[in-house]
Structure 1
């Protein structure tokens, strides 16, 4: 236990918010991981009324049915305790997802919207731009268009987000998974830092998290992975290219299709966002079934 390092880190996190968190009832799910002996200390010191679950790591229970990969535990905890807000970290605490006062999950796209809008309001949003990945929801982009905030799209992966931020001087970026980077304060995602920025924004605006996320309509999204023998052959097939173009034309401005190869596995990922689950399902299958019909899929 490197107590000096832990105390310096806690001190740094405490120095970031400009407001105290007094009279705010906060729930934390520490995923039995790295935030277990840090997060509560920070929120307590800032004046919050802090309630914690899954903060007793035993060496094997990290991320087990808890944390940002299993949000049900925190959702139920916030509802049962009548808390104002909740935050779930993953095992190594570089990610954070939130839960609003109604127990609804607030993912990385919504966090980017909330915190990006606050930066713009304070004239701190460099280049008037939020950095996202190609997997961010179309609903985020439509909401940002309405309030006049620009966005960049990178390949999937926080390293690509950070590369863009460094190259272009952008100050906020991240992924749906809750890996959010605030370049003024850190060079990588920090889940506890993200939670502090979210709550600070709520307090500054005298609004709940549900009120701050209300302008964003997240579109249904369906992703199907197809195991294939040769990824390049699939992506270069003219019939498949045509099918993708047809789906793009069908969806118009009310949806999108994204077909890409996995960087680590022999998979083609077919993702559609649209106004309803039915439209997503119908259009994903147009491409997935064609891949299978042409004999590219393997078991």
Structure 2
């Protein structure tokens, strides 16, 4: 049976893969697994969404499923994913639900679940929820049915939390913020302005269908162009649910998640808040990040791809920063998940505190050319472990030595083997990646 949950919740084409019926069933099953309640009150759940049109439909379905299972549904409206995680704790909820497909195109949608306190669910809990969906049970009747309420000014506690987490004044900085017509369209610019920055917000007029449409963190050229046109100090780009943040410097040059991690890790080291002098990153982070951190005396712990695995490593090791090249940055002292707005505030706070430009701060990292080739195969796991493929990887690693690296892994969602190579030059990386991909393709046919 295909697993319903992916690397970040349940996701698919809204009203086709992800139907109201699936949402009702998923919500009711989550209630049975996660709802605990307390003496004198029913269990409760916080529900938020991004602005895409199908979110209205799925929000109604989720609330219906929760109420039918005897759980009170607290609707907080359109807010970023990290805000919903935070408010799950604020409202002392048994669990939280975020309806969003993140950076995916508008026709898609998704449902993310948070445990009490706003923490992401481990695999075994997701498996229990899937099992509960396959064995539905009768719900309560009469006064036992859950109630659905809306929270006025739901964003206020989250905005106050952001202000307390990064109290440094950003006065004197001008930032262009690409909101992707998404969940951060209101709270992102508001948080940056309240911190003192001059804010130029673009793509901040969601209409239900324009989310991620040629804008946001997957179209970094848009904010780069705007930064140069406005003469801004930097640009920030969020995705549809604002759990990630990418940046550009004053010239429009990309400052990706690896560079942001480097800048913030060194800021924390200088402030004495980088616990164990350790940064957590995924295996996809550029070798340049590892080399820069090694030179700065910072250890890098690596995890599988996915911010949930970064979060697990952060929690198990008690570390204070981790993230992904894609712009998911987790600061566990202030957030239980990646928070794009918090990341943007922290990045600008480092600029304000040092008086350095983002280009100067990011120059600590020299990015090695990286080539990624996706090879379609019949059985990704058997191909990835085939002896001839393993030999090709070992030969490439021997050729590269300490000046590059090879990462070969099966895709988490498709019948693909991903071949990633970093080397001193793009041509060298392309040549080695192509050589390995040829072997992978031959085995996979």
Aligned equivalent of 2:337, options 175, 188, 201: 188
| Structure-2 residue corresponding to 1:126 | 275
Larger mean Cα displacement after TM superposition, 232-241 or 212-221: 232-241
Deviation at 1:194, TM superposition (A): 0.3
Q: For residues 39 and 288 of structure 1, what CA distance do their matches in structure 2 show?
A: 41
1:203 CA drift (Å): 0.9
After superposition, the C-alpha distances for 1:188-245 in whole angstroms (9 at most, x for unaligned) are: 0010000000000111111111000112110111111111111232123212111110
CA distance in 2, matches of 1:11, 1:49: 19
The yes-or-no answer on 1:83 pairing with 2:232 is yes
3-state DSSP class of the match of 1:5? coil
Unaligned runs of at least 5 residues, structure 1 = none
Query: Structure 1 residue 47 and structure 2 residue 186: aligned?
Result: no
Q: TM-score, normalised by structure 2?
A: 0.65
**CA distance change for structure 1 residues 242 and 93 in 2, over 3 Å: closer, same or farther?**
same
Q: How do 1:1-299 residues align onto structure 2 when only pairs under 5 Å count? A: 1=77, 2-294=151-443, 296-297=444-445
Q: Distance in 2 between matches of 1:290 and 1:68?
A: 34
Q: 1 CA distance for matches of 2:168 and 2:442?
A: 59
Paired with 2:152 and 2:229, the residues of 1 have a C-alpha distance of: 34
Aligned to 2:81: none
For residues 235-262 of structure 1, the C-alpha deviation after alignment (integer angstroms, 9 at most, x for no partner) is: 2321211111000001111101111111
For residues 286 and 46 of structure 1, the distance between their equivalents in structure 2, rounded to whole angstroms, comes to: 50
The answer to whether the Cα contact below 8 Å between 2:376 and 2:441 also exists between their aligned partners in 1 is: no
In structure 2, C-alpha distance between the alignment counterparts of 1:235 and 1:39, rounded to whole Å: 42
- Residue 18 of structure 1, CA deviation: 2.7
CA displacement, residues 53-104 of structure 1 (integer Å, 9 cap, x when unaligned): 0000000100111011100110000000000111110000000001111111
Q: Secondary structure at the match of 1:15?
A: helix
Q: Secondary structure at the match of 2:273?
A: coil
Q: Size of the alignment, in residue pairs? A: 296
> Displacement of 1:264 after TM fit?
1.6
| Deviation >3 Å, runs of 4+ | none
Q: Distance in 1 between matches of 2:386 and 2:199?
A: 55
1:291 is displaced (CA, Å) by: 2.1
For the pair shown, which has the larger CA radius of gyration, 1 or 2? 2
Contact 2:159 2:187 in 1 (8 A): yes
CA distance in 2 between counterparts of 1:169 and 1:17 reads 21
- What's the offset of the Cα at 1:151? 0.9
What TM-score, normalized to structure 1? Answer: 0.97
